[in-house]
Chains A and B, each alone.
Chain A
């Protein structure tokens, strides 16, 4: 069965630390990949997406993600987090349907 795994359920970082959130999926065919963010009390917003081309994708607010097809991964990164990045981050994979990961709650300490 198709699935999306986010390995870190809770991450706590200090401001200026680097961030990497893991996302792995299980599907052998063509996929589109997404990262969403949900700030406290707000709805989900698209951070970035990958459909094809350069596997290193840059999104909003300094986030980027790298698609590594051989590893079935689409990890989210940010070189230096800010307190305002405190939120929950969801990886999503589109095959013939849309599947969300279970989310990673990030807390950035000021």
Chain B
């Protein structure tokens, strides 16, 4: 069965550079979530999209932005990167259920971002 795809899997950037992470949800899933997991830390919710509109916002820094496109894939844009942005960035997708915006989430393998 198709899973959530994230690209790239690994990314190395320098401070103050920009990065774009991509997430391709499971086919027919209409909701995408982004999480950040720092070394030895728990996943922190960043932002989510439902039907191409932002549905919820968590602890996403102002330097980051994200969007969901017409094909439901999502991109997380990160600017002015800082050392503390080094983390594993998970994307998850789900299918809206009974009118609610969330259902069980299927996680991608993550993009490991290292800022040097």
* A residues in contact (CB < 8 Å) with B: 32, 34, 36, 42-46, 49, 90, 94, 96-98, 100, 102-103
Contacts and interface: CB of A to CB of B under 8 A. Distances in A.
A49 B42 contact: no
Interface of B: 33, 42-43, 45, 48, 56, 90, 92, 100-110
Contact of A43 (B90, B100, B103): B90
Contacts of B109: 42-43
Contacts of A98: 33, 45, 48, 56, 102, 105
19 contacts: A32-B102, A32-B103, A36-B107, A43-B108, A43-B110, A44-B92, A44-B107, A45-B107, A94-B100, A94-B102, A94-B103, A96-B100, A96-B101, A97-B56, A97-B102, A98-B33, A98-B102, A100-B42, A100-B45
| Chain A interface helix/strand/loop/mixed | strand
A103 B43 CA distance: 9
A43 B104 contact: no
Nearest to B58: A97
B111 to A, nearest CB: 11
